[in-house]
Amino acid sequence: MVGLILALWAGVAGAATQTLSSGWRFRLDPHSPATQTHPEAAGWRAAQVPGSVQTDLLTAGVIVDPFQRGNEAALQWIGLADWQYQLPLAIDAATLRHDHVDLVFDGLDTFADVSLNGQPLLAADNMFRRWRVPVKDVLHAGSNTLQVTLHSPIARIQPWLLKQPHALPGEFDSAFGDEPKGRQTANYVRKANYQYGWDWGPRYVTEGIWQPVHLESWDELRLADFHVAQQHVDAQAAQLLAQFDLRADHAGEAGLRVTWTAPDGSQRSTTLATSLTAGDNHVELPLRIEHPQRWWPVGYGEPNLYRFHAEVVVAGKVIASAERDTGLRSVELRRQRDRWGRSFAFVINGVPVFAKGANLIPLDSFPERVTGSRLQQILQSARDANMNMLRVWGGGYYQSDAFYALADRLGLMIWQDFMFGGAIPPYDAAFRENTRIEATEQVIRLRDHPSIVLWCGNNEVQTGWESWPDRKQFAEAIGPVERARVEQGMRTLFGETLRDVVQRHAPDVPYWASSPGTDFDGPANVPDDGDMHVWDVWAGSAPIEDYLKTTPRFQSEYGLQSFPALATLRSFAAPSDLSPESPVMRAHQKFDGGNGNQRLLSYIRKYYGEPKDFASFVYLSQVMQAEGIELAADHLRSARPQSMGSLYWQLNDVWPGASWSSVDYFGRWKALQFHARRFYAPLRVAPIRRGGRTEVFLVSDRTAPLDARLRLRVMDMDGRLLHERVEPVRLPASSSTRVAELNDAALLQTADPRRSFAVFELVGQGRTLSRHLLYFEPALALQLPDPGLHAELAEDHQGTVLRIRAKRLAREVWVDFGSLDAQLSDNAFDLLPGEQVELRVAGTADIASLRNALRVHSLVDATAHAASAQESARP
C-alpha cells in the first residue's frame, strides 16, 4: 500500500532519508502462549514492511489463504498472539555526523513496543498516528538492531475490560468465541474497526508495521509541514497563505520562496525574508492569484490543480523544500430553513451540487495489499458511473495520499469520516487526547486535497445511542449518572474536540459531528434536517417501494445486497460449495451470521420468483439490487432541491463474498454499477410509479438549460406500438422538473399490464439522452416472452465488438465471459423488440476465447415459471 503519510522534508545539503523497507524478519513472540500450539511460526522468517503478520505468514507458506472457503475460523489465533519484528540496521559514520537522526514510523498496528539496541524508544497505541523518535544517541556505527514487539489488541484490553462493571456497546460480536458477547474490546482501541469483523467482511485482527519506516538525518533546520491555506477563493481572485512549520536549532535569518505553476503552465513566485527563533516556527507568506483556474467536481468543470513549490533558503543555499498539488475552490455545507425543514447541500464555488455516489469501505482486509492500480480502478469505476462523491466510511482507516490525489485529479468529492464506526467511545481524557492527536495529524496530512469537502466525526454513533435496542438497554442499565458521562463524552469528542481540530487546521472545509445527524442540533436520522441513513428496506425487511416513502435532505446510506459474479465465487469456493446455504457461502455472508442469504432470497422471490438454479440466484440477486437502488436514486434525484444527495451503500468489497457492493473484490462490475452509470447520468428521465399513478421527472445536473423532446411510447412485448406521443420540454439548469402525472388507465388504455410496458425517452442533440422503461406489474407477474437474443463477436479497427439483437423485449440482458479478462462497455440493460446494441469488449482475452466463453441471458431465463407463483402475484 502507498505510504500513509507523505514526507515533506527534502533535507539539508548532505542530509538523508533512508527508507527501512527491506531486511525485516518476524516471529511469534517467544513469551506468547501461541508458541506451544503453533511452533511453525516461532522461528524467524522474512517479513514485508509495510505489511501485517497475516500476509507475512501467508507469504511464508505457514498459513492457508485467509479468503479461501471457511479458512477464517482457523486463523483467528494470529490476532490473539504477540509478535516480534526485527531489522539489522547498518549505520555509517556519515549518518552519525548529522545533528539529528530521527526514526519515523508512519504507522504501527497497533500496540507496539519499539527498542533500538535493546533500549526502549516508544510504546505506540494508535494505528492512525505517526511516531517520530530521536535516535542519534542510541545508534552506533556498524550493525544496530531495531525491534518492534506487537501486542494483540484483544489480549491487551480484554483482562481489564472483563473486570469493569460494564462494557460500552460495540458493533459486531465475534463469531469465534475469543470475546464474550457484549464485551468487545474494539471500542477502546484506536484501530480500524472493520478488522474485528463487520456485516460485509471477515474478522482478521491484524498486527504489523503497516506503513513505511524511515530514518531521517538532518542538520540545523527541518521543514515539518508546508500548507497552502485558502482564505477566500472566488472567480476574481484566490487569497492564500503559504504556511511553513519549521523546526530550527538556532535563531537566525531565512528566506522563504514559493513558486506556483497554474494548470495552464504559467508560473509565478514570491519571497519573504523572516527571522527564525530556536525551536518551532510558524511562518506565513500571503499569496494572491488573480482569476484562478478553480477546481470543480466532475460534471461542473475541470478539476484544475496548481503546483506549489516551497523553498527555505539560508545563506544563499536551499536547505529544505516541499511541493504541494492543490486545487483552489470554496466549499460550503448549506443549511437553510425552507418549506421542507433545513437543507443539507454541498456548494462548490457557489454552485449547489447534487451529490451522486456511494460509500467506500477499505479495499482489502489487509491494507498493504492495496496497490496503486486497485485504487485507480475503483476510483475510475466511480467516475465512470457518473459519481461525483464518495464517503470514506468511519470504520476503516484514513486512505493513502495516492487515493486523495487520484480523487483530486478525477474531480471526485470526498466526504471524510473520522475513524469511528458506530461503537460508543470511551469518555476518559486520555482516549480523547489520543484521538485529538490522531485527528490533528490526519487533517494536517490531508488538508491540501481539494477533493475533501467534509470532515465528519463518526458513523452512526449518535443514531445508535438514540435508537438501537442494545444501546437503549445499556443506557437504562447503567443509570442516569453514568449515562450522562457517556453522553457528554460523545458530545465533547464529536461536538468539540474533533470540530476544533478541523476549524484550527482546515477551516475552509465544513465539519459535521455525526452521520446520520443534525450536527447535534437535534435527534439524528430524521428526514427534514441533516443527513439520513435509510435501512427499513433490507435491514428491516421492508418492501423496496418503501424507498419512496421518505425524502431525506441528504441520503448518505441505503442499500440492498447481492452476490458477486460466479467467477468471483469460484475464486474461493469449490463446486460443491455453490449453493446459497452451503457452509462456505454462509461463511462469506456476514449479515446476520450467514442468514443474509435467506433475506436475499426473500427479496428475489417477492419480486422475481424462484431462481431455477444457483447461477440464476446470483444473477437475480444483482438484478434485484440494481433495480431497487435505481428506484431509490431516481426518487432522490427527482426530489431536488428537497433532497441533495444520494450515496448508496456500498461501492466496493474487502474480500469476495455477498455484500451491498456494486463493484466486487476483484473489480468486476455488478449490475448495480452499470445501472448507476445510467441513473446517475447528468441527464435523466425518471418516471416514478406508485399507487397506479406515474409522475415523470426530468433531472438535469448541467449548469445550463437544455431544450429537448420527451417521447412516450407504450408497447407490447412483441414490439407492437400501442400509442405514442412526443412533446417539447425544457430542462432548467441544475434541476428536477415534474412534467407529467399519468395514471395506469391513461397509459395502458386497453393493453394487458402483464404484456405491456412504457418507454420514456429524453431526446435531443440528435440522439437519445436518457431512456427509462416502466413496467406495470412486478417482474414476477409479467408474461415475459422468449426475447430471441442473438449475439455475435467481431473485430474492427477499434478492437472487439459484441452485437446483440432481440426479437422481442429482453429485460436485464446480462453478458458473461466467465473468468476471462473482458470488460464490457455496458451490461444489465433492457432491449426493445427488434433493437440491436453494439458493446465494446476490452481486455487481454483473444476473440476465440471470448466466443467460447460468451453467455448471454435475460430475466426470462432465470426463474422457474410456476403458474401458481404467477397467479399469486396478481392483484
- What's the mean pLDDT in 269-295? 97
Asked if 68 and 572 touch (Cβ cutoff 8 Å), the reply is yes
Tell whether 66 is covered by a domain.
Answer: yes
Distance CA 763, CA 770 (A): 7
Indicate if 551 and 689 belong to the same structural domain: no
Q: What is the pLDDT of residue 864?
A: 83
- What's the mean pLDDT in 705-720? 97
Indicate if 688 and 542 belong to the same structural domain: no
Q: What is the pLDDT of residue 865?
A: 64
Indicate if 378 and 505 belong to the same structural domain: yes
Q: In Å, how far are 568, 580, 603, 869 from 537, measured between CA atoms?
A: 26, 21, 10, 23
Tell whether 117 is covered by a domain.
Answer: yes
Q: What is the pLDDT of residue 850?
A: 96
Tell whether 295 is covered by a domain.
Answer: no
* Strand-pair partners of 361: none
Q: Which of 14-18, 176-180, 495-499, 583-587 has the lowest mean pLDDT?
A: 14-18
CATH of the domain at 414: 3.20.20.80
CATH of the domain at 718: 2.60.40.10
Indicate if 416 and 534 belong to the same structural domain: yes
Asked if 710 and 771 touch (Cβ cutoff 8 Å), the reply is no
For the segment 361-403, what is each residue's pLDDT rounded down to a tens digit?
A: 999 999 999 999 999 999 999 999 999 999 999 999 999 999 9
* Strand-pair partners of 100: 218
For the segment 59-104, what is each residue's pLDDT rounded down to a tens digit?
A: 999 999 999 999 999 999 999 999 999 999 999 999 999 999 999 9
Distance CA 60, CA 816 (A): 36
Domain residues for the domain of 481 are: 356-566+643-677
Indicate if 363 and 482 belong to the same structural domain: yes
Predicted confidence (pLDDT) at residue 868 exceeds the cutoff of 90? no
Predicted confidence (pLDDT) at residue 866 exceeds the cutoff of 50? no
Asked if 574 and 582 touch (Cβ cutoff 8 Å), the reply is no
Tell whether 251 is covered by a domain.
Answer: no
For the segment 451-501, what is each residue's pLDDT rounded down to a tens digit?
A: 999 999 999 999 999 999 999 999 999 999 999 999 999 999 999 999 999
Indicate if 715 and 733 belong to the same structural domain: yes
Asked if 270 and 258 touch (Cβ cutoff 8 Å), the reply is yes
265: left (phi over 0), alpha (psi -120 to 50) or beta: left
Torsion of Cα atoms, 81 then 424 then 511 then 402, to 10°: 20
Q: In Å, how far are 11, 12, 866 from 313, measured between CA atoms?
A: 12, 10, 81
Q: Report the run of H or E that residue 58 belongs to, with start and end.
A: helix 53-59
Spatial CA neighbour of 505 closest among 450, 448, 456, 457: 448
Distance CA 707, CA 709 (A): 7
* pTM across the whole model: 0.96
Indicate if 41 and 87 belong to the same structural domain: yes
Q: How many domains does the chain have?
A: 4
Q: What is the pLDDT of residue 225?
A: 96
Q: What is the pLDDT of residue 61?
A: 96
Distance CA 60, CA 592 (A): 34
Tell whether 822 is covered by a domain.
Answer: yes
Indicate if 390 and 532 belong to the same structural domain: yes
Residue that terminates a domain, selected from 716, 748, 781: 781
Q: Report the run of H or E that residue 357 belongs to, with start and end.
A: strand 355-360
Distance CA 737, CA 641 (A): 11
Asked if 111 and 236 touch (Cβ cutoff 8 Å), the reply is no
Phi, psi of 702 (to 5 degrees): -70, 150
Distance CA 841, CA 475 (A): 56
Indicate if 673 and 715 belong to the same structural domain: no
For the segment 305-346, what is each residue's pLDDT rounded down to a tens digit?
A: 999 999 999 999 999 999 999 999 999 999 999 999 999 999
Percentage, residues of the chain above pLDDT 70: 97
Distance CA 674, CA 827 (A): 6
- The residues, ordered by sequence, that sit 6+ positions from 767 with a Cβ below 8 Å of its Cβ are none
Report residue 765's pLDDT band, with 50, 70 and 90 as the boundaries: confident
Predicted confidence (pLDDT) at residue 589 exceeds the cutoff of 90? yes
Residue that terminates a domain, selected from 214, 249, 266: 214
Q: In Å, how far are 310, 346, 640, 872 from 351, measured between CA atoms?
A: 32, 8, 14, 50
Is the bond preceding 110 in cis, omega lying within 30 degrees of 0? yes
Indicate if 548 and 669 belong to the same structural domain: yes
Residue that terminates a domain, selected from 677, 700, 720: 677
Q: What is the pLDDT of residue 867?
A: 37
Predicted confidence (pLDDT) at residue 748 exceeds the cutoff of 60? yes
Which SS3 state, helix, strand or coil, does residue 176 take? coil
Asked if 144 and 414 touch (Cβ cutoff 8 Å), the reply is no
Report residue 572's pLDDT band, with 50, 70 and 90 as the boundaries: very high
- The residues, ordered by sequence, that sit 6+ positions from 159 with a Cβ below 8 Å of its Cβ are none
The side-by-side arrangement of strands in the sheet containing 735-743 is 683-690, 693-700, 735-743
Distance CA 533, CA 515 (A): 8
For the segment 778-813, what is each residue's pLDDT rounded down to a tens digit?
A: 999 999 999 999 999 999 989 999 999 999 999 999
Tell whether 230 is covered by a domain.
Answer: no
Indicate if 453 and 516 belong to the same structural domain: yes
For the segment 393-430, what is each residue's pLDDT rounded down to a tens digit?
A: 999 999 999 999 999 999 999 999 999 999 999 999 99
Asked if 391 and 415 touch (Cβ cutoff 8 Å), the reply is yes
Tell whether 143 is covered by a domain.
Answer: yes
For the segment 506-548, what is each residue's pLDDT rounded down to a tens digit?
A: 999 999 999 999 999 999 999 999 999 999 999 999 999 999 9
Average model confidence (pLDDT) for the chain?
Answer: 95
Q: What is the pLDDT of residue 7?
A: 34
Asked if 814 and 853 touch (Cβ cutoff 8 Å), the reply is no
Spatial CA neighbour of 365 closest among 672, 586, 659, 45: 659
Tell whether 433 is covered by a domain.
Answer: yes
Predicted confidence (pLDDT) at residue 14 exceeds the cutoff of 90? no
Q: What is the pLDDT of residue 313?
A: 95
Beta strand segments in 732-835, E: 735-743, 756-764, 767-775, 790-796, 799-805, 810-816, 823-824, 829-831
Write the DSSP assignment of 63-107 as a string of letters: S--TTSTTTTGGGTHHHHS-EEEEEEEEE-HHHHTSSEEEEEES-
Indicate if 673 and 539 belong to the same structural domain: yes
For residue 144, count other CB atoms closer than 10 A to its CB. 16
